Amino acid sequence: MYHKIFIWLKAARLPSQSYILLPILLGQMIAYSISNQFSWELFYLLLAFSIFIQFFIIFANDFADQETDSLNKTYTLFSGGSRVLVDGDLKATDLKRATIILMTLCLGIGLVLNLFYHRHFSLFFVISSFLLLWAYSYKPIQLSYRGGGELLQMLGLGFVLPLFSFYIQSDSFQGFPFSLLAVLFPTHLACAIATSLPDQPSDQISSKNSFTVKWGSGIAKTSILILQSIASICLWIYYNSKSSIYFNEFLYFVPLFGILFTVFFFKSQPGNTRLSLFVFFSLFTTMTIEAGLILIYYVLS
């Protein structure tokens, strides 16, 4: 039994939960800063949704990418799938069944939010999340193979999830700071490109037209640094427009350390630990940018 639990935990790739959780927390903190009201019931429902939708995304991607993942010899903690299908830990039918269950759970939360809390756009957001995954991984669109998958990731994590959680906590779209997208879009696009770097060899073999495959790892890494720098500059402007609290300076400089460390590991190749560190510090930059914004909005409330 414990072995089975371990396999499903491996399939779930729990560290990637932060990709989903931080945007959902950010949207709620923005709503809290405007209304100074916070519903813990809605918070727990959104927390459950973040867990279910993350599992759904991981399982559905693993199911769609099993052929490419079987060719991947340079996978890391951040890329290359969970490996449960490639290693024979689970059958494809097991993962497919789990994906359907998780879709049902996400829809269930959407119905609860709709029927009991009168958040009438909740099902629209839930279904939009499904459609983004479908457009990313599955035919006929399958943008992760055709090119543009990184833009879908940016859209989902940088806009759909923050706006969804903002709407659920505030019961309105009014007051959502769309100017914040100048920070969120570049950093999430950089994050999406970074996670494709270790998979370049297998993606190339399977004709997966990721940004890294199309433009090469050098241009991809340079683009990551430029995008994170743009996000940091916009972050500084945004901080100064919102608050003069002293520790803003600290929150601003933490992401800069992430950018600095990615420069140290710029010259790295797939299968090399240095590339894993490059990817890690790029993800660190994105997560600290979002965490800093969450703290700022909490203080502003």
Residue 197 burial class via C-beta count within 10 angstroms: exposed 0-12, middle 13-18, buried 19 and up: buried
Q: Name which residue leads in pLDDT, 10 or 129.
A: 129
295 has pLDDT over 50: yes
Are the beta carbons of 210 and 196 closer than 8 angstroms? yes
66 has pLDDT over 70: yes
Are the beta carbons of 270 and 205 closer than 8 angstroms? no
206 has pLDDT over 90: no
Are the beta carbons of 93 and 99 closer than 8 angstroms? no
Q: Name which residue leads in pLDDT, 221 or 147.
A: 221
pLDDT confidence band for 246 (50 / 70 / 90): very low
Q: What is the pTM of this model?
A: 0.93
* Cα 52 to the center of its chain, rounded Å: 14
pLDDT confidence band for 2 (50 / 70 / 90): low
Q: Which of 212, 201, 217 is closest to 70 using CA atoms?
A: 201
Are the beta carbons of 119 and 113 closer than 8 angstroms? yes
Residue 91 CB coordination number (10 Å): 11
Cα gap 59→97, rounded to integer Å: 10
Q: What is the distance between the terminal CA atoms of the chain, rounded to a whole angstrom?
A: 46
Cα atoms in the Cβ-side hemisphere of radius 13 Å centred on 119: 25
Cα gap 210→223, rounded to integer Å: 14
Per-chain mean pLDDT for the chain: 89
| Residue-level pLDDT at 108 | 98
Mean pLDDT for 104-119 is: 97
Domain boundaries, the chain: 21-300
247 has pLDDT over 80: no
